[in-house]
Structure 1
């Protein structure tokens, strides 16, 4: 083949390589500037051809020199795209072929005998370079297909994501509308709840005031006795002091009489102190009952608490009805000790149970049944599991079986309208079960009596 045909063939091959690189590596997008320069890849070949003709250069290596230039351009392009995996593979593919081309071009200039001596080796190397080139071309093609597949999958995922995002926006809009509706409804419910809590607080306060009224009536009656003792012993002590002063003014004093007067005076003062402390304890109990509970548990003498509130409840009822009388029976466990409890709250519970018991026996007494005698009994004991039990028993009217399951419900009462709020037992149940982790149960027989049973954890 003559020189003209070799150069033209090389130019055609160069154009084919440029076209392949554009399509395979997407050069218009990845390297737009180099892509434009590739349009002129034929120019160096043509320039070599013109120069060779002008100087009458007859070298048959002109086409090889041009192809080496083309391979250099390809290497530069692939180097600029080395971050792209198929481009790196192509760079690896052309490396042996470029090395072979360089040696084939340079060795004849150094020694013509080398090519002739190692002709077979060079032919084998050329074949190996072509095989290597096509093998890695196939690998690069496979990599490109894989990347294209991954790109399509990413596009599908992006479309799906956009679709989901659009769907989520629609859902968010619907949720916002629904939230606005629910917020409005919640606000209305909150206002209704606020009104309900206000009403409930008023009713609870009314129940507490009713309980406080019962307690105050009992205290007024109970505190009268120690105050009478204080007044009487104060008067007697004043007389003893007067008598002692008179004795001291006599010319002949009687030491034995003075000592006797001082002993009597000391005893009276001790009795005044005792009954004053009794009155103070009653007032203190009233204050503890009237003020809000702190919720702090402390060691509480349950026997003393039950005994005190039993008498206060009884005297409170007698303050309203002087004709009422009942037998009070106490069966206290002497080994009960103290119980960790909120004494103000437990006191309210006991006062409520005692008041209900006296109300029940009073109503039965009004029936004038022959031989009936009102009895209210309170007892305490240790249970086998270590818990403490308090029983408040009466022999009153009892509770109808049809309503016994409702007596701890708020606002439910068996009393006539105006005689009860229906919150006493409900509050008592909450104080014992929720406030102290205990239980409050009832056993009743209609027409025979009722027993309320409190258990508190030891």
Structure 2
């Protein structure tokens, strides 16, 4: 056996073991590589013993070639997951091809043909040795670099694993905190819901109190409005009784003495009186029905409503209600109503409450200014005449209702707060502060309209309501 071939083969066997770390990764390969090295050493010893006869040199060398080929194959399999082994293949494959080619040529060709080219093949084999050791040195450096990269990657992965573990612990802690916070928020939500329910109940009570308060203010006005038709009913009833007595007397006379024209005139007067009694009775019934609707909870159902009749009725009721409290109070009021205004689809009870609230505020404002002007005891003050006016008119975008007065007015800094709940300019105990806020909500949210205020302190206030066309 050629000693350099044996040396290189043993070198490759042990280096491939180290490169591929077969002791840990491939124990079967590791045993095969180790026993191959021992077998080659045994063959080398036998070859040296039989060198005199020349029987084993060629065969032992070819066994080394076969071992190198198997090592190349194992290295190829290992290089799939271990990149530095690919460089090792680059060192072994050319070296193995040169050795095998040189040995085949020397074996096949006659000596006379081979000898002239022996130097070339020897040079090629020498270059093969240089090549395998040079590339192997480069592969060793590459392996160190790769191992360093692997260690850095493992260290990085370990660092990431520690960080991930730490992150998981932080997430778990945060999850526990969030769970506790969620439980706390749920408890607070329940408390807030209970508080909200209590506030809504209190709000409903305040709204109902506001409605009852406005209805209470109308009591005197209702009495006055009902008294007028009742007086007419009583008067026409008395007159009708007298007419019936006169008609009865005329009917008791003998036929020649009866005056047919007088009887017809008495019957005609009776029909007119009964018609007037019916009219004023229906008027009183309508007032009572309106007040009952005002006191009930709103159904929220829209119905065609005569806004002119609604505005005129509540304007009179509001005025007489305030006059019942203050006999010295007198005011002029006017209803400028658009006769072409058709019935409007609204919630009549709610719009009635809005108008009543605006009228009450208007008459209260002119009453306060009247008292203030009288206290001044000046000609201007004595000449002041309270006045409240309601106007309805049809516009291209809807129905407009305007309530104007020449009362005390509202300062500029308070006009932005006038629609806020519980805000009032009246003395304590004189108002709940919910009237205008409820009215604003009814118009804007309940009917998708607008409600604006324009006021000059000491001059008066104008509220403008726009109900959009449906």
Structure exhibiting the larger radius of gyration computed from Cα positions:
2
1:343: how far off? 3.9
Q: What are structure 1's unaligned runs of at least 5 residues?
A: 248-255
- Tell whether 2:7 aligns with 1:18: no
Contact 1:301 1:339 in 2 (8 A): yes
Deviation at 1:354, TM superposition (A): 0.6
What pairs with 1:46-445 in structure 2 (closer than 5 Å)?
46=41, 48-49=43-44, 57-76=55-74, 78-79=76-77, 82=80, 84=81, 86=83, 89=86, 93=90, 96-97=93-94, 100=97, 104=101, 107=104, 111-112=108-109, 116=114, 134=135, 137=139, 141=143, 151-168=154-171, 194-214=197-217, 218=221, 222=225, 282=287, 285-286=290-291, 288-293=293-298, 301-317=306-322, 325-335=330-340, 337=342, 341-364=346-369, 370=382, 373-381=385-393, 386=397, 388-399=399-410, 406-435=417-446, 436-445=448-457
1:412 Cα shift? 3.0
Deviation at 1:442, TM superposition (A): 3.8
CA contact (8 A) 1:86 1:144 kept: no
Distance 1:408 1:196 in 2: 19
CA root-mean-square deviation: 5.6
* Corresponding pairs, count: 438
| Distance verdict in 2 for CA 1:386–1:94, change over 3 Å | same
Residue 353 and residue 19 in structure 1: after superposition, are their counterparts in 2 closer, same or farther (change >3 A)? same
Unaligned ranges ≥5, structure 2: 252-260, 375-380
SS in 2 for 1:60: helix
- Deviation of 1:425 after TM superposition, in Å, equals 1.9
Q: TM-score, normalised by structure 1?
A: 0.68
Q: How far is 1:441 from its partner?
A: 1.2
Structure 1 pair 273–425 and aligned structure 2 pair: CA distance change class (3 A): same
Are the equivalent residues in 2 in contact too, given 1:441–1:454 (CA < 8 A)?
no
Report the Cα distance in structure 2 between the residues aligned to 1:321 and 1:225, rounded to whole angstroms: 20
The answer to whether the 8 A contact 2:102-2:121 is kept is no
Separation in 1, partners of 2:351, 2:39: 109
* Whole-angstrom CA distance in 2 between matches of 1:11 and 1:173: 63
- Residues 105 and 401 of structure 1, relative CA distance in 2, 3 Å threshold: closer
In 1, distance between residues paired with 2:234 and 2:122? 139
Q: Which moved more, 1:97-106 or 1:325-334?
A: 97-106
Residue 377 of structure 2: aligned partner: none
CA 1:36–1:413: 2 relative to 1, 3 Å: farther
In the superposition, the TM-score normalised over structure 2's length comes to 0.66
Partner of 2:256: none
Aligned-residue offset at 1:118: 9.2
Mapped partners of 1:362, 1:308: distance in 2: 20
Q: Is the 8 A contact 1:78 1:87 kept in 2?
A: no
* 1:134-179 C-alpha deviation (Å, 9 max, x unpaired): 4995997577766666555444444444454455555556666766
> Measured at CA, do residues 160 and 144 of structure 1 come closer, stay the same or move farther in structure 2, by a change above 3 Å?
same
Give the Cα–Cα distance (whole angstroms) in 1 for the partners of residues 135 and 176 of structure 2: 57
